[in-house]
Chains A and B, each alone.
Chain A
Amino acid sequence: MSGTFVGMPAFPKAARDAVRDTTLRGNLRHATHTIRDKRAKAVAELDDWQQLREAGKRIKDLTLRHLDRHLLRLEESVTAAGGTVHWAADAAEANRIVGDLVKATGETEVVKVKSMATQEIGLNEALAAEGIHAYETDLAELIVQLGDDRPSHILVPAIHRNRAEIRAIFRDRMAGWGRPAPEGLTDNPADLAEAARLHLREKFLRAKVGISGANFMVAETGTLVVFESEGNGRMCLTLPETLISVVGIEKTVPTWQDLEVFLQTLPRSSTAERMNPYTSMWTGTADGDGPQTFHLVLLDNGRTDALADDVGRQALRCIRCSACLNVCPVYERAGGHAYGSVYPGPIGAILTPQLRGTTSEIDASLPYASSLCGACYEVCPVAIDIPEVLVHLREKVADRGGPGHRLEKAAMKAATWAMDHPGAMAAGERAASRTRALHPRRPPGAGAWTDSRDLPELPAEPFRDWWRKNRT
């Protein structure tokens, strides 16, 4: 296992190993079902959930439609509040900007708030190449970082680990990164949390530079917002002298009033809480209070391309709650790593191919990593019709005619031809029925179906023949 997703095999192959890993299946099943049930209860408490969902969807759509204007407004507000705004077209540019900003402080260490955007661009690896150590301070991200592992969930990056595994990681790896785990560490959750707290505390108190993302950016005042549970974010956002926030451009909302909707829908959808424990908001800098230097790096990295796609753009409404992961039957069996991206699950299957394109094997396989059951759409707090986007992206992949798709297209064309010629279809059906005694239930070459399932027995005659004989 390594810290990046480069060179991932296609989804079906990666998922095969996960399906066979019984520990992983058990960890994921327990965790996703627990949070799934809790979310359902938290959402059911609100009579106006569907209206909130619709409001969230409309706020995001309206903002995205005029994103250029809102971003300029945001830049103006952040600048007026004492911050500096940087524009990054892609991951390389964002990493270069952040690297230069850190180097300019003369520091070689940064503490990080859990952030999807910085994971997406591989910031930690880029900083390491510049000799800068980036320390993850979210408990689960710490587990992932210490374990030289990859995140497998948006909200719970170490969801694939159980507490015995976490204990082993802390015991074996903490010393290499700073304060070692206490002697005789148990796998009691409170003891594990205390070990992390002690390990991280020295980093919070030492670090001069903090790096974060943001859940929202309010354009009218230039305020950034982070939702979190552990308080590590609050430490990173207030203790360092310099704060650098890397945020996707789609995280903008025009006004504080818009934020009101998401303050209700995000915690209930993600952690199944009425309100998350820590909501940090900051507007530029304030003399003598918190970081005295603030930089905002606005990240595109494929978002403008997604925005140009009239079906695919709804993926940009995503508020990273991960409710879709927790209800997804495919995610539950395949695990997050199989998706080959920091965005796993249903949202990852529509976001990653739009942000990265579909030239790699893994990215081209993601739109097919779904049975289109629709459970994700049902729980999405901003009503992203994930199945609609999946099918739309399948069309794009098929149109490119990559490996296997040329043959598939020919087969689909042939099927359409036969089905547009009922005589040909009926002849085929009759031929199959007449020779049915010869059809094995597990024919050779049908392994994708018959490794685990038998084929149905064919009937003596198709329905249309029964109809002709009995009703005409």
Chain B
Amino acid sequence: MRVALFVTCVNDAVYPATGIATVKLLERLGVEVDFPAGQTCCGQPQFNTGYRHETEPLVRRTGRVFEGYDHVVTPSGSCVAMIRDNYPRIGRRAAAEGRGGELAEVARSLVPRVYELTEFLVDVLGVTDVGAYFPHTVTYHPSCHGLRLLGLGDRPRRLLEAVKGLELRELPGAEECCGFGGTFAVKNPDVSAAMGTDKVRNAVATGADVLCGADNSCLMHIGGILHRQDAPLRALHIAEILLSTEAEPHL
């Protein structure tokens, strides 16, 4: 089984700890992980802002870089959703514009092999107890793309519930968007901040130490508000919680 990590541009540049945790966690579970160095960005910022043609070189690159791998695992729900939902669309539109089937072919080949981390753990490896230990109270924010586009369902929750020492607290209004939304956060900063502030208020009300998510772009936005408000909890990617063990605790 050849498994590639698609770390994503945000994790590469800003949250390498999430990428490292993903690698070490998969290795601990007996998976040999490769990191093809030609990878960059899935193109979601361009595509969702209305620059479909500017996205196409990144679709081609991502397809090329991950050719030959049985599974491509990424610790970012929204980047998986970009590939799964939008690569086929980009392919269809390019074909409709008379530019051939190359992009559609990239999508056809890549889409079935791409997994969000919790999907890969639960569906492909068949594990929910990854042997983690994390003695903290945690509340989980299911990011919209994981929740609605990927249908991650209770996979992250099952993984967290199996973590020794971890107490999971229900997040009120969990399914409401945090207000990040890519360029939405800067194009509509007031509404975005109002949504984020409500999310933070709900998270603080749980009394948890940690706000866990499976998408660092959302956590960058929520974490930025937490930091600004000096709130008593911190945002953390689920990969880093699942990596933590009694022998090597995360905190």
Contacts and interface: CB of A to CB of B under 8 A. Distances in A.
Nearest to B17: A459
Contacts of B89: 388
A422 B184 contact: no
B94 interface: no
B221 interface: yes
A25 B190 CA distance: 13
Interface string B30-53: 000001011111010111111110
Interface in A432-467: 432, 441, 447-449, 451-456, 458-459, 461-464, 466-467
Given A371-B179, A416-B46, A464-B37, A453 B228 contact: yes
Contacts, number: 190
Contact of B195 (A333, A398, A456, A462): A333
B186 interface: yes
Contacts of A408: 49
Interface string A2-20: 0000000001100110011
B3 interface: no
Q: Which of A393, A397, A448 has the most CB of B within 10 A?
A: A448
B58 A419 contact: yes
Given A373-B177, A378-B148, A461-B16, A453 B188 contact: no
Contacts of B207: none
A350 to B, nearest CB: 13
A467 B9 CA distance: 14
B61 A420 contact: yes
Contacts of A448: 185-187, 189
A457 to B, nearest CB: 9
A429 B39 CA distance: 14
Contact of A452 (B23, B57, B197): B197
B87 interface: no
B144 A425 contact: no
Q: Which of A374, A375, A419, A466 has the most CB of B within 10 A?
A: A419
A80 interface: no
Given A329-B177, A369-B188, A415-B46, A453 B20 contact: no
A370 interface: yes
B50 A397 contact: yes
A396 B51 CA distance: 9
A391 to B, nearest CB: 6
B16 A416 contact: no
Contacts of A462: 12-13, 16
B190 A12 contact: yes
B15 interface: yes
A12 B188 contact: yes
Nearest to B186: A448
Given A371-B192, A419-B41, A463 B19 contact: yes
Given A371-B180, A388-B89, A422-B38, A19 B19 contact: no
Contact of B194 (A19, A393, A412, A463): A19
A132 interface: no
A395 interface: yes
Contact of B11 (A333, A368, A452, A463): A463
Contacts of B91: none
Interface residues of B, number: 66
Nearest to B57: A420
B49 A398 contact: yes
A416 B49 contact: no
Contacts of A429: 12-13
Contacts of A371: 144, 177, 179-182, 184, 192, 195
Given A448-B186, A459-B15, A391 B228 contact: no
Contacts of A12: 187-191
B14 interface: yes
Contacts of B55: 416
Contacts of B191: 12, 15, 19, 330, 333-334, 369
A430 to B, nearest CB: 10
Contacts of A453: 193, 196, 221, 224-225, 227-228
A413 interface: yes
A73 interface: no
Contact of B196 (A334, A409, A425, A452): A452
Q: Which of B11, B52, B187, B195 has the most CB of A within 10 A?
A: B187
B63 interface: no
B168 interface: no
B183 to A, nearest CB: 8
Contacts of B47: 391
A377 interface: yes
B179 A416 contact: no
24 contacts: A12-B191, A15-B190, A15-B191, A19-B191, A330-B195, A373-B144, A373-B148, A373-B177, A391-B48, A398-B51, A409-B51, A412-B45, A416-B46, A418-B40, A422-B38, A425-B40, A452-B196, A454-B228, A456-B14, A459-B13, A459-B17, A463-B7, A463-B16, A466-B19
Given A372-B184, A409-B51, A448-B186, 20 more contacts: A369-B191, A371-B182, A372-B181, A375-B144, A377-B148, A397-B50, A399-B50, A413-B54, A415-B54, A419-B43, A419-B58, A425-B9, A447-B189, A452-B225, A452-B228, A453-B224, A453-B227, A454-B228, A456-B220, A459-B16
Which A-B residue pairs are the 4 nearest by beta carbons?
A371-B181, A394-B50, A453-B224, A373-B177
